[in-house]
Copies of this chain bind each other. A is one copy, B any other.
Amino acid sequence: MKKEWDTLSVLSHARHDWLNKLQLIKGNLALDKVDRVKEIIDEIIIEARKETKLTNLNLPQFASSLLTCNWENHSFQIEYEVTESPNVHLLDDQLLASWTEGLFAALDDSIEKFQENYLSVTIEPGEDGIRFFFDFSGIITDNTSLMSFLERAAAPSMTVQVAAATEDELSIEVFTMPIQGE
């Protein structure tokens, strides 16, 4: 199941990530590339705003799963995008988080390690609920456990639809309805 992150580990990983960004700034500054440094800073701020948007979705477990995913020993890297939306829905966070962790595990079992494997997650809050697009690109060696996970894991309040599945691509659309009518 999901690894529980303690405060010190979260801080250590976050510190490591931020120091990498700082090194990039420092390196470009040493080369007098001040304009590039300004660009990097703007990119970091955009990235941070994205994290804030994810955090504000009111899905703490799901958001934690995405934000800590790259710190775990997965065979893929994750990136995500949250589209602008005035809608906030109360979804089943626990269900969504455990499904997502299940997808991570199924991917680990199905893809070739040490390759350029990426999972891109797009989160689109809409009027009736939130749509989640999980797009994997990389090398799928055996999609048996992946397909079995996808068939097994659906819940009544959650629809899972496979939009594309080839050996180097997998697109899944997940839709979850709000817990309470709004």
- A interface residues with partner B (beta carbon < 8 Å): 5-8, 10-12, 14-15, 18-19, 22, 25-26, 29, 34, 37-38, 41, 44-45, 48, 51-52, 55, 60, 63-64, 67-68
Contacts and interface: CB of A to CB of B under 8 A. Distances in A.
B38 A29 contact: yes
Contact of A64 (B7, B38, B60): B7
A143 to B, nearest CB: 31
Query: How many subunits of this chain does the assembly comprise?
Result: 2
Contact of A67 (B8, B18, B25, B41): B8
A22 B6 contact: no
A13 B168 CA distance: 38
A38 B60 CA distance: 36
